[in-house]
Structure 1
Amino acid sequence: MGKLQKAATLFLFLSLVSFLSNLLTATTATSPAVFVFGDSTVDVGNNNFLPNAPKANFPPYGVDYPGRIPTGRYGNGFLGVDLVARAAGLSSPPPFLSLSCADQGGQGVNFASAGSGVLDTTGTSVVTMTQQIKDFSTFSGNLTAANGAGSAAAFLSKSLFYISVGNNDLFVSSAVLIPGNSTQKDEIVAAVLRQFADQLRTLYQLGARKFVVVGTALFGCNPIVRRTVPDGACNPELNDLSLRYKTATRALLEQLAMELEGFKYSFSDVFEITIQILSDPQKYGFTELAAACCGSGRLNAEGPCTPNSTYCGDRNQYLFWDGIHATQAVWLLRSRLSFYGPRRFAYPVNIHSLLES
């Protein structure tokens, strides 16, 4: 094992020990449940139940998950939502489509579907955000019927609503993006956020009060994008689109907090966290920033990650597991900074503070 690989392994181990140690002392920062909405960044297996939806329920996905099980998570192990749920004192919520009876999901439910977006037109054969919220409405209706309106409202008001969506909408829209056209970028952002604002208001009307909104990433640096650039560099136009969306999302959340009584939130700034990693990757144990761990072709991103793909052995040093999705090592860092980090990474408060509020 080389020095850099040892450093990466040591950093990940120490980060995990530190994170779990903090969890054990965070007895006041608990939540009765976590409800999850979004795309492949938080889907823990819903798409397994959809015949024509994109899936990750085959090896080597899950190679670092307990038991080396390919659960349907788009990564080599745990996702950020798994770690945040643990930090909130809970198990990771099960996929909604896996529930066999109405009384399951007492610690939360995961409604996310890989490939979905804010817009109903984003993704095919997946569970749209609109439908995810309808599914939650059904769940909350059953909760109210079983426990009474007052108890259900109190339960939901203390629960965490974890939302990670928007990357797919921006990526699809960028296919017609004219380089340097700021007006077009702002129009794309506005169109997505109009729908997202309605979705957040609907969740609020259904009882949600504590929101974690995960920002969009520097998807112009994804291997699937870099492979199309001659020198393998990031695409600045796509990163600028994501930055504009991030800025507008923060403004929207601030507006909703003023508009809706009891609306509280923590914005997890994935964009800023990734910039921090790219500015000093070796500090965090990463040595491969451009290529995917699993795949084929240039930057391991010309072909998808499949059972026949070769994959890296030093996964803790890689930023990306496949052409789009982060490694477990990245999710660990993002989760730690989102849960306990400063305002630079979690605005206006981190998730730990949101839970205590």
Structure 2
Amino acid sequence: MFLGFIMTISPINTLIFIFFVVILSPSLSHADTTAVFIIGDSLYDVGTNTYLLKSIAKANFPWYGIDFFNSTPNGRFCNGQNLADFTTKIAFGESVTSPPPFQAIHRGGINFQERLMEALDINSTRHWEGPIKRFTLASTRAKENPGKGVNFASSGCGIIDATSAIDQAVSITQQLKEVKFVYGNLSSQMGAEKAMEYFEKATFFICIGNNDVNFFALFRYKLEPDPYIDKLIQSYNNTLTTLYKLGARKFGIFGVPYVGCSPLMRVTIKGGNCSKTANDLAQQFNIKLEGLLVRMQENSEDMHFSYANSYNLLYDIYMNPATYKIKYVNTACCGLGRFRAMSNCNPIARLCKDRKEYLFWDVSHPSQYIAQLMMEKFAFGEPRYVGPITWSELVNI
């Protein structure tokens, strides 16, 4: 139909028409993604928990942020930029960092609308580089420069709300309410139809499930895992369905990593071995999660997803550290005691000299070096690590 229309006008007018389509059409401009919305746990948290008075999971003190701009602690559970920052770069260029936390935008509701419109850059007041083709050294030198969107992720969050309650995190139920709140404000500004179109072109990245697996392995290991996994999958299904009804069509899904060999899990096991319970549960959950995504896409032709197999990637790094220029996979860079996992990173903790040599920054979070490496694999990697399309292809849809 579109091509048929072009063929009915004169050659000169056709060239003029095509010129304006290429220049002005949003779908052909630099940013095929209108915004990045980030949902999840501490792997994606960029300061949400700093605003939560009751939360016990915070990273707004040294040595967190030591390799960030001005060595400033900023709420990220990392020595520098984290997975949310590198995820955002895929869509908007190497100079950007994660969108701001919803809690920072909201701040009790005062001037929320103004700050939200600024975060989403509805009026296109900023220039965006557009999707990147590869990561360079420039990616790790970025200042705090939020990309378009909102980050809802909260450290300690789980797929089920009972997990979130342990660390007083923003639960997935509450994060979805915040997404709806953003949608409602967009609707009041743009109208419901345009707000839904905006959500359709946005990319939703979800990283959740790590805490649910850790919690089960530490405290519920005597129970049968299958009913627990089914409960997690049902909750995940509800999350995706809720977002889909709001207009979300593009999903970047982060599978549960190879979590059983983290310092957090090792320090709890006699002999310092990996937790087979955690790794088995993560693997079983991921299989069912992939199945859920495939079924949802089959039932909704306009839905697109890209599944990041972080389990395979972390397993490969753990088993072949030299291939990735890593020296230490069992011990955290920052912490105290055995595996530097007897406490989380803090001002009196032991700090390694070269963060690039470590798989883990603290008891359970990857270093900036590993975060970038992971995103390179998910953005441009092979089917063992991402599929059915890459995250770079996803944001360009």
Is TM (by shorter chain) over 0.5? yes
CA-CA distance at 1:120 after TM superposition: 1.1
CA-CA distance at 1:131 after TM superposition: 0.5
Residue 126 of structure 2 is matched in structure 1 by none
SS at match of 2:113: coil
The answer to whether 1:325 aligns with 2:325 is no
Alpha-carbon contact 1:291-1:299 (below 8 Å) kept: yes
**Cα distance in 2 for residues equivalent to 1:249 and 1:117:** 15
Q: Alignment partner for residue 210 of structure 1, among 245, 250, 253?
A: 250
Give matches, 1:240-319, under 5 Å.
240-319=280-359
Residue 104 of structure 2 is matched in structure 1 by 98
**Residues matched between the structures, number:** 328
**Cα distance in 2 for residues equivalent to 1:228 and 1:33:** 40
Give matches, 1:11-160, under 5 Å.
30-53=32-55, 54-89=57-92, 91=96, 92-99=98-105, 100-103=111-114, 104=116, 105-106=119-120, 107-124=148-165, 125-160=168-203
**Cα distance in 2 for residues equivalent to 1:172 and 1:138:** 30
Residue 12 of structure 1 is matched in structure 2 by none
* 1:71-123 Cα deviation digits (max 9, x unpaired): 10011111112112112016421000111522422021001111111111112
The answer to whether 1:196 aligns with 2:240 is no
Alpha-carbon contact 1:30-1:89 (below 8 Å) kept: no
Residue 10 of structure 2 is matched in structure 1 by none
* 1:182-219 Cα deviation digits (max 9, x unpaired): xx122211111111101110000011100011010111
* 1:22-72 Cα deviation digits (max 9, x unpaired): xxxxx8564210001111010101111101111000010001111111110
* 1:113-151 Cα deviation digits (max 9, x unpaired): 111111111123221000000011010111011012232
Residue 221 of structure 2 is matched in structure 1 by 177
Which residue type is aligned with residue 157 of structure 2?
S
CA-CA distance at 1:227 after TM superposition: 1.8
Which residue type is aligned with residue 343 of structure 2?
G
Residue 11 of structure 1 is matched in structure 2 by none
TM-score (norm 1): 0.89
**Cα distance in 2 for residues equivalent to 1:233 and 1:187:** 26
Higher radius of gyration, 1 or 2: 2
**Cα distance in 2 for residues equivalent to 1:237 and 1:132:** 29
**Cα distance in 1 for residues equivalent to 2:238 and 2:91:** 27
TM-score (norm 2): 0.80
**Cα distance in 2 for residues equivalent to 1:295 and 1:248:** 34
The answer to whether 1:226 aligns with 2:266 is yes
CA-CA distance at 1:261 after TM superposition: 3.7
**Cα distance in 2 for residues equivalent to 1:156 and 1:282:** 42
* 1:300-321 Cα deviation digits (max 9, x unpaired): 0012211111210111010101
Unaligned segments of structure 2, at least 5 residues: 1-28, 106-110, 121-147
**Cα distance in 2 for residues equivalent to 1:227 and 1:46:** 28
Root-mean-square deviation (CA, aligned residues, Å) is: 1.6
* 1:253-305 Cα deviation digits (max 9, x unpaired): 00111122411101111101112212321111100000011110111001221
Which residue type is aligned with residue 46 of structure 1?
T
Q: Percent identity?
A: 35
